[in-house]
């Protein structure tokens, strides 16, 4: 009887309920919800407003999205969510989304192409409007598919030229060259470059190539480019030892291709009882909250991470608004922050 009907009715408040209590049709309420106030009478507007308040109504986004073929959802696929670099980007991206009423769904892949694929499928099922991805580069086929379904995709940090998508990141060549040139000018005679495996990751490749180029340009031998797999600590330690054995104290320096490997290297140096910069100088990509606190301060290349997130998300919205211009590669300048970990070599 009445009791059970009421129960059913109050279970979830729908647009129909609002229409009833306001004494208008669903259509009119819908118009109110989408902000088309100018075609509503003041009377209707007020009564709807009152009804919504009274019933504490919140429109169902799934119903809305279904009909409009829009989810107001952006996917963000990140290799490692605990990496401060990633979260700074996320922060920027999130701020832009919030402002527009979009929400971000985070997906953590651990650089695993299989996980990445699963997430792409899931996001596809959710009909995301946009995707911001730090890709493994192994699921290009599926990304292309997504792009064909009108999802606006922006690659962050890592490029995949064959996809022809917008990318946002830092100018790796420029920044790496600036940093290595700086170290050469400071008098270091042997510089090692440590990176995670290059295969398939454009960012790492660009930095490694810039390193090689600049060494060649200055007539240095390119002997110390180390690709370390960080899953196990051993390889990195071994490679570090190899470098230290082959080089002379006071004349050598290490450059880390990103913040993760920079941290690992500093750990390894501490573990071996080596001092910065006396035993070895060090610098690397990614400014982090602790880089000025360790020893004499670590020289780093700072990326405008928040800005990268903001810009990437803005490109997504530009695309969603119908911009069909050719894809852009947006590269911000990195900033070299010089600290005590890379002093001038004695005797210069």
Give how far the C-alpha of residue 70 lies from the chain's centroid of Cα atoms, to the nearest Å.
23
Residue 16 touches DNA, criterion: CB under 7 A: yes
**Which of 44, 51, 192, 266: binder of its own copies (CB under 8 A)?**
266
Residue 246 touches DNA, criterion: CB under 7 A: no
Q: What angle do CA 288, 293, 294 make, to 5 degrees?
A: 95
Residue 338 touches its own copies, criterion: CB under 8 A: no
By a kind-dependent CB cut-off of 5 to 8 A, residue 82 interacts, out of DNA, its own copies, none, with: its own copies
By a kind-dependent CB cut-off of 5 to 8 A, residue 43 interacts, out of its own copies, DNA, none, with: DNA
Residue 322 touches its own copies, criterion: CB under 8 A: no
Tokens of 265: 């290297």
Tokens of 76: 């963000």
By a kind-dependent CB cut-off of 5 to 8 A, residue 149 interacts, out of its own copies, DNA, none, with: its own copies
Alpha-carbon dihedral of residues 184, 188, 190, 193, nearest 10 degrees? -60
User: What is the Cα–Cα distance from 165 to 120, expressed in whole angstroms?
Assistant: 16
* Residue 334 neighbours by CB under 8 Å, 6+ apart: 170, 171, 174, 175, 178, 285, 301, 302, 303, 304
Smallest distance, Å, CB 146 to its own copies? Answer: 10
Q: What are phi and psi of 302, to 5 degrees?
A: -90, 130
- Residues forming a β-bridge with 44: none
Nearest to 270 by CA among 322, 233, 224, 228: 233
User: What is the Cα–Cα distance from 141 to 143, expressed in whole angstroms?
Assistant: 6
**Which of 6, 23, 49, 66: binder of its own copies (CB under 8 A)?**
66
Q: Looking at 18-26, 46-54, 87-95, 210-218, which segment touches its own copies (CB under 8 A)? A: 87-95
Q: What angle do CA 48, 52, 57 make, to 5 degrees?
A: 140
Q: Looking at 33-41, 180-188, 204-212, 225-233, which segment touches DNA (CB under 7 A)? A: 33-41
Omega within 30 of 0 (cis) for the link into 296:
no
Question: Which residues inside 43-62 make contact with its own copies, applying CB under 8 A?
Answer: 56, 58-62
Question: Which residues inside 202-261 make contact with its own copies, applying CB under 8 A?
Answer: none
**Which of 1, 2, 4, 68: binder of DNA (CB under 7 A)?**
68
Give contact residues for DNA (rule: CB under 7 A). Answer: 12-16, 23-31, 33-34, 38-41, 43-44, 57, 59-60, 63-64, 66-69
Give contact residues for its own copies (rule: CB under 8 A). Answer: 12, 56, 58-63, 65-66, 69, 71, 73, 81-82, 84, 87-88, 90-91, 94-95, 98, 101, 103-108, 115, 118-119, 121-122, 124-127, 145, 149, 263, 266-267, 270, 288-290, 292-294
């Amino acid at each position: 009887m009445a009791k059970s009907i009421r129960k059913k009715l109050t279970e979830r408040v729908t647009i129909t309920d609002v229409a009833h209590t306001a004494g208008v049709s669903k259509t009119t309420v819908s118009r109110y919800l989408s902000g088309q106030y100018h075609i509503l009478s003041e009377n209707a507007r007020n009564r709807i407003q009152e009804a919504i308040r009274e019933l504490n109504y919140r429109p169902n986004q799934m119903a809305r999205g279904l009909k409009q073929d829009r989810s107001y959802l952006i996917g963000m696929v990140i290799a490692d969510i605990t990496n401060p670099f990633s979260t700074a980007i996320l922060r920027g991206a999130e701020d832009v989304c919030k402002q527009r009423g979009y929400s971000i769904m985070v997906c953590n892949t651990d650089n695993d192409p299989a996980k990445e694929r699963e997430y792409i499928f899931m996001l596809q099922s959710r009909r995301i409007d946009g995707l911001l991805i730090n890709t493994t580069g192994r699921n290009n086929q599926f990304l292309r598919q997504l792009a064909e379904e009108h999802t606006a995709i922006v690659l962050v940090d890592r490029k995949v030229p064959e996809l022809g998508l917008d990318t946002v990141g830092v100018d790796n060549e420029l920044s790496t060259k600036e940093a290595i040139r700086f170290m050469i000018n400071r008098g270091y005679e042997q510089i090692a470059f440590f990176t995670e495996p290059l295969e398939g990751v454009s960012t790492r490749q660009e930095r490694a190539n810039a390193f090689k180029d600049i060494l060649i340009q200055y007539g240095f031998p390119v002997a110390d480019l180390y690709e370390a797999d960080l899953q196990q600590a051993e390889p990195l330690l071994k490679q570090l030892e190899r470098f230290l054995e082959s080089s002379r104290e006071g004349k050598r320096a290490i450059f880390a291709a990103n913040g993760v490997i920079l941290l690992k290297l500093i750990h390894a140096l501490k573990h071996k009882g080596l001092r910065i910069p006396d035993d070895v100088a060090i610098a690397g990509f990614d400014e982090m909250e602790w880089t000025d606190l360790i020893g004499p301060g670590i020289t780093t290349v700072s990326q405008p991470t928040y800005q990268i997130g903001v810009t990437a998300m803005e490109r997504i919205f530009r695309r969603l608004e119908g911009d069909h211009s050719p894809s852009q590669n947006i590269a911000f300048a990195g900033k070299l922050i010089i600290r005590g970990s890379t002093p001038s070599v004695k005797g210069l």
